[in-house]
Amino acid sequence: MSAMSTADSVPRISPASAPGPSGPTSLTASSGLGGLGGLGGRGGVPLSVPLPYLLTGVTAAALFGVILPWLVVEAAHAPLDPHVLALVHLVTLGWLTMTILGASLQLLPVILVSPLRAARLVRWQYPAYLCGVLAMLTGFWTMYPLVIAAGGMLVALAVGHYVIVMAITIAQAQQRPLTARFLAGSLVYLCLVVAFGLTAALNLRFGFLGAGVLRVLPAHIALGIAGWLTCTLMGVSYTLVRMFALAHGHDDRIGRYVFVLLNVGIVLLALGFLLASGLVLAIGGTAFCAASWLFAYDYTRMLRVRRRKPLDATQRHGIAAVSYLCILAPLTMLGVLAGWGEPQLFVALGLGAFVGWLGQSTIGYLYKIVPFLIWQDRYGELVGRQKVPLMREMLHSRWTKASWWLLNLGLPVAMLMLLLGLEWLLVIACAVLGVGLLLAAANIWACYTMHRVH
């Protein structure tokens, strides 16, 4: 990978800028980028900053797909088993958070039309975070609490630097569109998730929480899934869906209501778990469900006004992901409030949330982001000088279609088999799902290996 600036600074991204001597219009026409020109430019974030996160994220997704069939039966009977906890954190930290960290470092300057601030040490953030995640996964797998805590501290260090960079960049920007508000809220939830996670990790060794751990863990999960991950993905969707689909006629009116309802729901859900208050949980769950459904409605509005009519792989994954969100949100709230304690139910809902809503969203966006970043770095300056590939040619279209079908056939069947207790069919469905994840990861890695700068 080639660096486009020194390690001491991350230059400004300008949505209007574009690589190559021919200017933005020629670039768009020659490459088939459509609305992607806003993701970067000659003065953009170096490829070596976001790309390691994105490639590591899809690798973690593939690893999850390999391990899941072997552990899903164990998860159905003992969700707090050390191996299951390692698998859960492989998804949340290795796949989803890893991907979001890299993508947001590239995306935020585009949204704000402002350079990343306080980013002098940004290149050290990835190795610190990666080492922390690996230590945590090792600690969970072998059940060594001190290793978990040590890895958690490294993760906290990397996350703390990320939060500082993002928060200062948002604070000093002259404009803060809707997506920036979602990202600002998600930074708060990320800090709380890390703090609660470290507390729970230390409690494994010292046991100071006592019975209070039964309140801290649900709050940790709610802040992670509903707060950090969902708030971030909803927020970036208001930029990326419009950009990718050329939905320039869409406004923020409904999105503002989504933002308020979502954050009210997240805060009340966390407080409800900490206070063990059914009333607070009910109000928070209602607000969260309302935000999810309103977001889904607004998502359809964005697709209706799009100028690029054919649905591509990113949009198909997005539609499936939002559909899972609309179904899973009320079911999860109903299960919590009704006191349904069967582990199979919550494992099924968790699998649907991780892969159906959160995982498919990230995979869909990576199908656009990774090819564009590599295309820009590899071919941007060659536009007008020689023939360059179209961006859509950098991915295997058959692989993207096959992966979508494997994911969206394997996942609902796996969730149903969890509820029915049919273990062999469950393992087969998870294997199908795993092949879909492997195929998606292989597609993105092939894009990198075939088109990287040597």
Asked if residue 410 lies in contact with residue 386, where contact means CB atoms within 8 angstroms, the answer is no
> Residue 38: what pLDDT?
53
Is residue 403 within 8 Å of residue 439, measured between CB atoms? yes
Distance of alpha carbon 203 from alpha carbon 208, whole angstroms: 6
Q: Does residue 427 lie in a domain region?
A: yes
Would residue 394 count as lying in a domain? yes
Within a domain: 193: yes
pLDDT greater than 50 at residue 296: yes
The proportion of the chain whose per-residue pLDDT surpasses 70, expressed as a percent, equals: 90
DSSP state of 380: G
Rounded CA gap, 359 and 338, in Å? 27
Mind listing the pLDDT tens digit for each residue in 126-172?
999 999 999 999 999 999 999 999 999 999 999 999 999 999 999 99
Count other Cβ atoms within 10 Å, centred on residue 454: 5
Residue 4 located in a structural domain:
no
CATH number of the domain where residue 319 is located: 1.20.210.10
Once rounded to an integer, what is the mean pLDDT over residues 280-297?
97
Residue 9: per-residue pLDDT: 36
Alpha-helical runs (H) found in 352-422: 360-379, 397-420
The answer to whether residue 6 is domain-embedded is no
Span of 111-120, 179-188, 229-238, 282-291 with lowest mean pLDDT: 111-120
DSSP conformational letter for 11: P
**Residue 256 forms part of a structural domain:** yes
Q: Note whether residue 363 is domain-resident.
A: yes
pTM of the predicted model, to two decimals? 0.89
Q: Is residue 13 in a domain?
A: no
Cα–Cα distance list, 227 to 187, 190, 204, 269 (Å):
9, 8, 24, 10
Based on C-alpha coordinates, what's the Rg of the chain?
Answer: 21
User: By mean pLDDT, which of 54-63, 112-121, 346-355, 380-389 is the weakest?
Assistant: 380-389
DSSP string for 324-371: HHHHHHHHHHHHHHHT---HHHHHHHHHIIIIIIIIHHHHHHHHHHHH
* Residue pLDDT, tens place only, 14-27: 333 333 333 333 44
Instruction: Give the total number of structural domains in the chain.
Output: 1
Provide the pLDDT confidence category of residue 36 given band limits of 50, 70 and 90.
Answer: low
In contact, 293 and 319? CB cutoff 8 Å = no
Whole-angstrom distance, CA of residue 138 vs CA of residue 143: 8
Residues in the chain, how many? 454
Candidates 186, 163, 165, 286; CA nearest to 238 is: 186
User: Which ranges constitute the DSSP H helices of 276-339?
Assistant: 278-304, 313-338
Give the residue numbers spanning the domain of 55. 23-451
Structure tokens that stand for 263 in this block: 């954050």
Closest CA to 127 of 158, 172, 104, 94: 158
- pLDDT tier at 45, thresholds 50, 70, 90: confident
Q: Mean per-residue pLDDT for 342-358?
A: 94
